[in-house]
Amino acid sequence: MGDSRIISVAGRQVGLNGLDEALAALGRDWVGRPDQEVGQELLCLLAPRNYIPGSAREAYAQALADEYRRSLGQAVAAPKAAGLEVKVLGAGCNRCESLTALVMKVLSELGQPASVEHVKDMREIARHGVMGSPALVINGQVKAVGSVPPEGRIREWLQEAATAL
């Protein structure tokens, strides 16, 4: 279990070691089982290699069950978070990092609550159907692909998305 992935647990980004291997271990054998059972099994597989707070075990179990469903290509209902959901898609190049920093700067200036996630996992990036990086996704809508948009345009998109909440 040497791989490391970041997933969202109760609206927070957490890193987990060995998730891909644990998902592979379950394979398709757990498809018909309830999320609670799937989540608990993944917790058992991952707990020896990761710190999982006792108070958050239920949230981790649900997040892990969701990751299992995604790994099978099944739809997972995203929990409604407060504020905007912003994703920067890209492997981690300088332009991706610049876009993430710029988005966070504009959000801070606007005082707008948001979750900002830099998605580096190629499978997750592919789910958005983008063919270039960096890409900017705001509340599920792809806004830019292949470049870092000007600060003013990012501000417009974020303000538009905030008024649509």
Where along the chain do the CATH 3.40.30.10 domains lie?
Answer: 84-163
The per-residue pLDDT for 102 is: 94
Pick the CATH number of 84-163 from 3.40.50.620, 3.40.30.10, 3.40.50.2300, 2.60.120.10: 3.40.30.10
The per-residue pLDDT for 94 is: 92
Q: Which of 91, 107, 64, 90 is nearest to 142 (CA)?
A: 90
The per-residue pLDDT for 2 is: 47
Q: Per-residue confidence of the chain (165 residues) as pLDDT tens digits? A: 347 788 888 777 788 999 999 999 999 999 989 999 999 999 999 999 998 888 889 999 999 999 999 899 888 876 555 678 899 999 888 999 999 999 989 988 888 888 888 888 888 888 888 888 999 999 999 999 999 999 999 999 999 998 887
The per-residue pLDDT for 114 is: 82
The secondary structure of 51-67 as a DSSP string is ---GGGHHHHHHHHHHH
CA angle 89, 161, 12 (to 5 degrees): 55
C-alpha to C-alpha distances, 81 to 86, 115, 136, nearest whole angstrom:
11, 8, 18
Q: How far apart are CA 13 and CA 98, in angstroms?
A: 20
The per-residue pLDDT for 80 is: 53
| Helix and strand counts by DSSP (H, E) for the chain | 6, 6
